[in-house]
């Protein structure tokens, strides 16, 4: 179960770090498209309202013209017994032509008498170029049992008033409502949705006094042209909002989902803690020291082992802050251990990319103090997971300063990674910790590397510690090799400070007894 949690922790943030930008861009595109479609629809609604006002204004003008025509017809028809006579017809035409040119005039009486007049000439140029080439049949009551039907070219009623960017029509209402319309609308939903965005925009104003209506049509291209003029502003708003989101709330999300963000938050909230693995003197089984091991109490995955996050931290800028946290916490705990066992030593791991960093000296001073031999109970363990130039002046300077403060130097996991006998000679190590791979029982059929290394290490004069002792058989082997100190689950598992202090108190009581 713990291995599964480690794999999840390693994969989950990395996948999310790659997924967050993709999800953000996809969401941004989707929201932008929806926003632009809604903005386009807003533009259509604004144009519809604007041209509806135009149509209503034109309708009022048309109604006023028709009212005036009706008044003039009634005045011309007063006192005339036979409106179909030449004199009466001429009087009627003269009264109407002063207002609007006629295309036909039809008169009917209640007695059945009827006559029609049509002009011999075409309409005047002011109406010939209008968009509406049709006529409007307007019925009027003239009194005395007479009725008139005027055929008027609709555009001539307001051709001088209509905007030039729209097509207008005057006639009866051209969109009658029928019971079959809802079904037809439902059947053509997709087409209607498409036409609602790019189709011709149509508005209509219907007269309540006359059987006429004014219909205005604006082509889809004209609507798109009006919208495109505002598009740069909308795109700049989307771009600005996107940048604000990416460097604002999304930066917080990215930080929370990334390993770096989680480590920073763990350092700030003290989610890290130290577990201490005792170092045992084999001849007496006394606890003489401990190694500080970093653990992470993760809110999602529980307690994480170093293998899940230490390699990432070592390759990140956070290694300095993490090492500082470890040193300060170890320096705080060491005096409590020393009160139980005075000469108790504490080992602190330092990664290879920081062991040659002069800032490590400042961290040591901040944690353990600047008094002479302030680090006399501290062992700095160099982990050799990366290539390290052991002859570099910076490395020699850092090690010399640490030794001047009383610290001892140990090579961790000796025999694996990049640690070797050449490195051992260059850095003049005090301790060597034999890697656990040399003690695995399934590897004992191989040449006895451990037995071969021990004479060389004794001649160099380093103190040897065996790591990973889990069985009595392994313990017997390291004893036969002359190793005096060891670590491993056979003696104790890593434990937090309270448990360690309780065991050290028992050790102290046992030694006094």
Query: Residue 170: how many CB atoms within 10 A of its CB?
Result: 25
133 sits in which H/E element:
none
Residues 390-401, buried b or exposed e (16+ Cβ, 10 A)?
beeeebeebbee
d(C-alpha 341, C-alpha 334), whole Å: 10
Count of residues making up the chain? 513
Average pLDDT over residues 115-126: 65
119-128, 146-155, 174-183: the lowest-pLDDT one: 174-183
Burial group, residue 509, by CB count within 10 angstroms (0-12, 13-18, 19+): exposed
Per-residue model confidence (pLDDT) at position 278: 95
Average pLDDT over residues 223-240: 82
**CB 276 within 8 Å of CB 288:** no
Identify the residue whose tokens are 């032509």.
97
Rounded-to-10 torsion of CA 180, 186, 191, 195: 80
Is residue 305 over pLDDT 90? no
Per-residue model confidence (pLDDT) at position 383: 76
Summarize pLDDT for 43-75 with one digit per residue, the tens: 888 888 888 888 888 788 778 877 877 777 777
**CB 344 within 8 Å of CB 312:** no
Summarize pLDDT for 439-491 with one digit per residue, the tens: 876 655 455 778 888 888 888 888 999 999 999 999 999 999 999 999 999 99
d(C-alpha 156, C-alpha 106), whole Å: 19
**CB 261 within 8 Å of CB 267:** no
Average pLDDT over residues 112-136: 61
Top-ranked range on mean pLDDT: pick from 38-47, 149-158, 182-191, 213-222: 38-47
Per-residue model confidence (pLDDT) at position 475: 92
**CB 296 within 8 Å of CB 271:** yes
Per-residue model confidence (pLDDT) at position 36: 85
SS3 label, residue 336:
helix
Per-residue model confidence (pLDDT) at position 483: 93
Residue spans of the domains in the chain: they are 2-173+195-219, 269-512
Q: What percent of the chain has pLDDT over 70?
A: 73
Average pLDDT over residues 306-318: 78
pLDDT band at 344 (very low <50, low <70, confident <90, very high): very high
Is residue 99 over pLDDT 80? no
d(C-alpha 160, C-alpha 174), whole Å: 23
140-149, 173-182, 336-345, 472-481: the lowest-pLDDT one: 173-182
**Smallest Cα–Cα separation from 171: which of 216, 201, 217, 137?**
137
**CB 439 within 8 Å of CB 416:** no
Q: State pTM to two decimals.
A: 0.56
pLDDT band at 174 (very low <50, low <70, confident <90, very high): very low
pLDDT band at 422 (very low <50, low <70, confident <90, very high): low
pLDDT top residue among 184 and 251:
251
DSSP state of 437: G
Per-residue model confidence (pLDDT) at position 182: 44
Instruction: Label residue 175 left, alpha or beta by phi (over 0 means left) and psi (-120 to 50 means alpha).
Output: beta
CATH superfamily of 269-512: EAL domain (3.20.20.450)
pLDDT top residue among 418 and 380:
380
Average pLDDT over residues 252-258: 58
pLDDT band at 6 (very low <50, low <70, confident <90, very high): very low
Identify the residue whose tokens are 């409007």.
136
**Smallest Cα–Cα separation from 110: which of 154, 147, 152?**
147
Q: For the chain, how big is the Rg over CA atoms in Å?
A: 49
**Smallest Cα–Cα separation from 197: which of 223, 174, 177?**
223
Could you tell me where the beta strands, DSSP code E, fall in 263-364?
272-281, 286-298, 302-304, 345-350
123-127, 212-216, 273-277: the lowest-pLDDT one: 123-127
Is residue 9 over pLDDT 50? no
358 sits in which H/E element:
none
d(C-alpha 430, C-alpha 463), whole Å: 6
d(C-alpha 495, C-alpha 504), whole Å: 12
């Amino acid at each position: 179960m713990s291995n599964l949690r480690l794999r999840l922790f390693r994969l989950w943030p990395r996948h999310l770090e790659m997924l967050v930008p993709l999800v953000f861009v996809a969401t941004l595109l989707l929201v932008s498209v929806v926003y632009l479609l809604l903005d386009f629809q807003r533009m259509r609604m604004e144009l519809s309202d604007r041209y509806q006002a135009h149509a209503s204004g034109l309708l009022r003008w048309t109604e006023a013209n028709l009212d005036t025509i009706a008044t003039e017809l009634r005045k011309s028809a007063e006192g005339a017994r036979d409106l179909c006579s030449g004199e009466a017809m001429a009087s009627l035409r003269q009264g109407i032509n002063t207002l609007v040119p006629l295309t036909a005039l039809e008169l009917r009486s209640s007695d059945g008498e009827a006559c029609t007049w049509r002009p011999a000439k075409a309409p005047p140029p002011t109406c010939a170029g209008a968009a509406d080439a049709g006529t409007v049949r307007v019925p009027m009551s003239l009194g005395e049992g007479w009725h008139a039907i005027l055929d008027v070219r609709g555009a001539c009623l307001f051709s001088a008033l209509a905007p030039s960017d729209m097509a207008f029509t005057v006639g009866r209402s051209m969109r009658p409502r029928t019971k079959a319309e809802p079904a037809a609308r439902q059947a053509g939903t997709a087409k209607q949705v498409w036409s609602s965005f790019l189709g011709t925009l149509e508005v209509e104003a219907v007269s309540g006094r006359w059987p006429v209506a004014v219909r205005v049509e604006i082509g889809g291209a004209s609507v798109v042209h009006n919208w495109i003029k505002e598009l740069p502003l909308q795109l700049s708003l989307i771009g600005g909002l996107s940048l604000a989101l990416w460097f604002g709330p999304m930066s917080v999300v990215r930080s929370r989902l990334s390993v770096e963000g989680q480590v920073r938050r763990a350092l700030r909230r003290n989610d890290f803690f130290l577990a201490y693995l005792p170092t045992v003197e084999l001849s007496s089984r006394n606890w003489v020291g401990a190694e500080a091991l970093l653990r992470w109490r993760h809110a999602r995955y529980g307690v994480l082992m170093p293998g899940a996050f230490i390699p990432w931290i070592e390759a990140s800028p956070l290694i300095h802050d993490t090492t500082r946290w470890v040193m300060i916490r170890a320096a705080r705990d060491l005096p409590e251990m020393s009160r139980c066992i005075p000469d108790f030593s504490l080992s602190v791991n330092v990664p290879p990319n920081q062991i040659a960093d002069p800032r490590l000296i400042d961290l040591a001073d901040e944690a353990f103090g600047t008094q002479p031999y302030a680090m006399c109970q501290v062992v700095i363990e160099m982990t050799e997971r990366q290539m390290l130039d052991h002859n570099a002046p910076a490395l020699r300077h850092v090690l010399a300063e640490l030794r001047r403060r009383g610290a001892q130097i140990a090579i961790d996991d000796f025999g694996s990674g990049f640690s070797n006998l050449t490195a051992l000679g260059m850095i003049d190590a005090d301790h060597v910790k034999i890697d656990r791979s040399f003690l695995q029982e399934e590897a004992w059929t191989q040449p006895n590397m451990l037995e071969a290394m021990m004479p060389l290490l004794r001649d160099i004069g380093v103190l040897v510690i065996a790591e990973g002792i889990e069985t009595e058989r392994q313990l017997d082997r390291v004893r036969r090799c002359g190793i005096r100190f060891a670590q491993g689950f056979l003696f104790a598992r890593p434990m937090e400070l309270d448990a360690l202090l309780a065991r050290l108190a028992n050790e102290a009581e046992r030694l006094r007894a």
